[in-house]
Structure 1
Amino acid sequence: MSDTPQTTDIPTDPQKSLLIVDDDMPFRTRLGRAMEKRGYAVTLAEGVEEAKAILRREAPAYAVVDLRLEDGDGIELVNLIHDIREDCRAVILTGYGNITTAVAAVKAGAIDYLAKPADADDVEKALLAPPGQMPEPPENPMSADRVRWEHIQRVYELCDHNVSETARRLGMHRRTLQRILAKRAPH
């Protein structure tokens, strides 16, 4: 199965060119297919270097960029996109959000900052929101328990799966953290 979405019977508008940059292949492919069904001409990239190669050939009208990519930073990529095409409407996606990165994303020119797993409806609402207006809130936002769980998982990942270091950084007891990590993700 190819990583690039296949052309569908739905005609695409050249003004609806969309670049999706995410290192999570299943998510990237799923979002790409969903956006193609909405009439976008989708191009997929796994990381910063692949996105740069695409940007040398064409500048998209829209972009959806993951904040943390294996080979670089999504905010820097949004800056590059805007250097190439100033009117590109870019959305930053992240599995680990905080106010500092949200502010940095907006300063870089992102029109919105969405938590993963964002669905195609949320992404399209953000991309098409009138300038200066926020899109409608998502129909099914993550629960507070899910946001907490995602945050713990991200810190755990950044600490190279070291339970003691993660617990120290989160200010929680190591055994409490072990119990949380042993459970499934809340809905």
Structure 2
Amino acid sequence: MNGLLIDDDELYARTLQRSLARRGIDTRIALNASEALELARQQPPDFALVDLKLGESSGLQLIEPLRELREDMRILLVTGYASVATAVESIKRGADDYLPKPASLTSILRALGVEKSEAAEPEDTMTPLHRLEWEHIQQALAETDGNISAAARLLGMHRRSLQRKLLKRPGPERRNID
């Protein structure tokens, strides 16, 4: 199985690429829409994992051209800005699945049909709230080029509150053993 990871966050894409490689899945990375279409034309992948927000463009615009290149390609739209409206729009345009970021490897493999639903562990179904908050803060910092004051304004909080939250970086998730 080979895939195409289309995401403007190179660190996220490279991390996901390594995780998939450990499962025997080869992937290529495209950081923008034009690069994605060029790579897909050269060798149409079995699946494409498309980020909704690709810099100034939208991953929604890639769904139809990718589908035209290969009818049976699995197209997964992932986003840190999940909403019902974009989920519906992505499915209407031909995406096979819609996953909120950060999507776990298990949920991606399940959406690709590589892993069965029954094999998923309960903690893979939901991301803890503190982890989502951390990811949201990191997104705001990335959008403001690391400016704490601007990120705090964007998040609607006081700068000192944001600084305190940044000191409380979430650690590894704990597993509940029943």
> TM-score higher than 0.5 here?
yes
Identity of matched residues, %: 39
Q: Is the 8 A contact 2:134 2:169 kept in 1?
A: no
Match of 1:68 in 2: 53
- Paired with 1:137 and 1:113, the residues of 2 have a C-alpha distance of 20
2:42 paired residue among 29, 33, 57: 57
2:93 paired residue among 108, 125, 129: 108
Change (3 A) 1:82 1:157: same
Match of 1:83 in 2: 68
TM-score, normalised to structure 1, is 0.68
Match of 1:98 in 2: 82
- Paired with 2:87 and 2:48, the residues of 1 have a C-alpha distance of 16
Match of 2:156 in 1: 171
Structure 2: which amino acid aligns with 1:107?
K
Q: Is the 8 A contact 2:5 2:30 kept in 1?
A: yes
- Paired with 1:109 and 1:83, the residues of 2 have a C-alpha distance of 10
Q: Cα deviations across residues 86-125 of structure 1 (Å, max 9, x unaligned)?
A: 432111223x223144344333322222234434332110
Match of 2:176 in 1: none
Consecutive unaligned residues of structure 2, counting only runs of 5 or more, are: 174-178
- Paired with 2:12 and 2:161, the residues of 1 have a C-alpha distance of 31
Q: Is the 8 A contact 2:8 2:55 kept in 1?
A: yes
- Paired with 1:23 and 1:73, the residues of 2 have a C-alpha distance of 11
Q: Give the 3-state SS of the residue equivalent to 1:110 in structure 2.
A: coil
Match of 1:46 in 2: 31
Deviation of 1:63 after TM superposition, in Å, equals 1.0
- Paired with 2:170 and 2:88, the residues of 1 have a C-alpha distance of 27
Deviation of 1:148 after TM superposition, in Å, equals 1.8
- Paired with 1:154 and 1:84, the residues of 2 have a C-alpha distance of 32
Q: Is residue 2:130 matched to residue 1:145?
A: yes
Consecutive unaligned residues of structure 1, counting only runs of 5 or more, are: 1-15
1:128 paired residue among 113, 136, 157: 113
Deviation of 1:144 after TM superposition, in Å, equals 0.8
Deviation of 1:138 after TM superposition, in Å, equals 6.3
Structure 1: which amino acid aligns with 2:162?
L
Change (3 A) 1:39 1:150: closer
- Paired with 1:88 and 1:165, the residues of 2 have a C-alpha distance of 40
TM-score, normalised to structure 2, is 0.70
